[in-house]
Homo-oligomer: A and B are copies of this chain.
Amino acid sequence: MTGEPVVLINVFEVPEGRDDEFLEAWQRAADVLREQDGYLTARLHRSLAPNADFRFVNVALWESAESFRAATSRPEFRRTTPPFTFHAALYEVIREVDRT
């Protein structure tokens, strides 16, 4: 552990017309996770275009990979998994490029 937060990025495939169903499920999961050790913050992004490959993208900060894995192993979280295909992984920021 370096002490730097890790970044969870989770991209969701949500067909047009199912935003409300997704948002309800996502909020249930977020309400469980925000109470767990190591959770810092989450930002849910929605595409401007309704037909993007990934309609929703969650970018969340966790104190460590270990705390993320412990939280998402809990049964009360696993029961909230939304019924949509998603691709989740942990990331680190390797480059920041500001305006010239």
Q: In the complex, what residue of chain B is closest to A44 when comparing beta carbons?
A: B95
Given A9-B57, A11-B11, also A42-B96 (CB < 8 A): yes
Q: In the complex, what residue of chain B is closest to A54 when comparing beta carbons?
A: B87
Given A11-B54, A54-B11, A89-B52, also A97-B46 (CB < 8 A): no
Query: Is A25 among interface residues, defined by CB-CB distance under 8 A?
Result: no
Q: In the complex, what residue of chain B is closest to A65 when comparing beta carbons?
A: B48
Nearest chain B CB to A18 CB, angstrom units = 15
Given A9-B57, A11-B54, also A46-B91 (CB < 8 A): yes
In chain A, positions 74-89 with a C-beta closer than 8 Å to chain B are 87, 89
Q: In the complex, what residue of chain B is closest to A87 when comparing beta carbons?
A: B53
- Extra 14 A-B pairs, beta carbons < 8 Å, given A44-B93, A52-B87: A9-B45, A9-B57, A11-B11, A27-B95, A30-B95, A34-B99, A35-B99, A41-B96, A42-B96, A44-B96, A44-B97, A48-B89, A48-B92, A53-B87
